[in-house]
Amino acid sequence: MKNTRQTALTFLCMTFLLLLANTSTASDVKRGARIYQQYCTPCHGQEGNGRGPRAKNEALQPPPRNHTNGFYMNMQSDVRLFKVIKFGGKKNNLAHIMPQWKHILKDKEIFTIIAYIRTLAQDPEYVAPTTQGWRKNPYAGDEREQLKDHIKKQ
């Protein structure tokens, strides 16, 4: 019973905080960037591309997520990012290498990081399949496979 109530309360708090987070400002982004530089860049890299010093020579497997990959990152909700950052990879079916930050970062700080991460994600440039060849997207799989039905119709 206590657990159910706790879960409900956590959910309510998270919803409220997410509403707050939706109103992120330029100063949030700046603050998030500072925290990111301090805690996240050793793995995720200065530019957020997943190539931090700790990930050199494929030392981390799976590699830290590339936060500049809009193809993947723009598909993830704020709730999802919040959960992974707060509770860590293991609790969210990702690698345990991604630490939990709940003992170090306040919820509000996590939201500023999310605001910053959103500024990193770039949608990849479209590459026409006929002239440039097919791209393999590490997260989305083979584009050719996804477009198979579309191609047949053409």
Chain contacts with ligand HEC (rule: CB under 6 A): 39-40, 42-44, 54, 60, 62, 64-65, 76, 80-81, 84-85, 89, 94-95, 97-99, 101, 113
Given a contact cutoff of 8 angstroms between Cβ atoms, the answer to whether 10 and 3 are in contact is no
Given a contact cutoff of 8 angstroms between Cβ atoms, the answer to whether 104 and 110 are in contact is no
Q: Which is nearer to ligand HEC, 86 or 135 (CB)?
A: 86
Beta bridge partners of 137: 141
Q: Which is nearer to ligand HEC, 34 or 135 (CB)?
A: 34
Q: Which is nearer to ligand HEC, 93 or 154 (CB)?
A: 93
Q: Which is nearer to ligand HEC, 51 or 135 (CB)?
A: 51
Least spacing, CB of residue 38 vs ligand HEC, in Å: 8
Distance CA(25)–CA(11), nearest Å, equals 24
The 10 Å CB-count burial string (b at 16+, else e) for 22-46 is eebeeebbebbbebbeebbbebbbe
Least spacing, CB of residue 110 vs ligand HEC, in Å: 7
Local structure of residue 137 (DSSP, 8 states):
E
